Amino acid sequence: MNTMTHKGYTAHVEYDERDNLFVGRILGIRSIISCHGKTVSGLRKAFEHAIKDYLDDCKKEGLSPEKPASGKLRRVPPEVHGRALVAARSAGKSLNQ
């Protein structure tokens, strides 16, 4: 699984050969947030900028930003819940699947 993480948010990363770009999509939240870059470092900067914009927009609108995982699975710490959710979404499945 190709991922990058910033401030607790994880992006699934793929290479788009047709457009010659690295593309990232943030996992574990309902909002659709994506980023892209011609290089890995460019993608990293775009990813961090997308998270900053998302958090700034939430603050401006008076909304609580979604967290990648709530940790509400019984007896499972939020960090483990988050990693399981990211792994499931990266595999194209829901956590229940």
Domains, the chain, in order of start with CATH, read 3-90 (3.30.160)
Whole-structure pTM value: 0.70
3-state secondary structure of 26: strand
Tell how far CA 75 is from the center of its chain. Answer: 24
pLDDT for 40-80, tens place per residue?
A: 999 999 999 999 999 999 999 999 998 876 555 566 566 66
- Reading across the β-sheet that carries 34-37, which strands appear in turn? 3-6, 9-16, 21-27, 34-37
Q: Is 11 helix (H, G, I), strand (E, B) or coil?
A: strand
Count CB neighbours of 81 within 10 A: 18
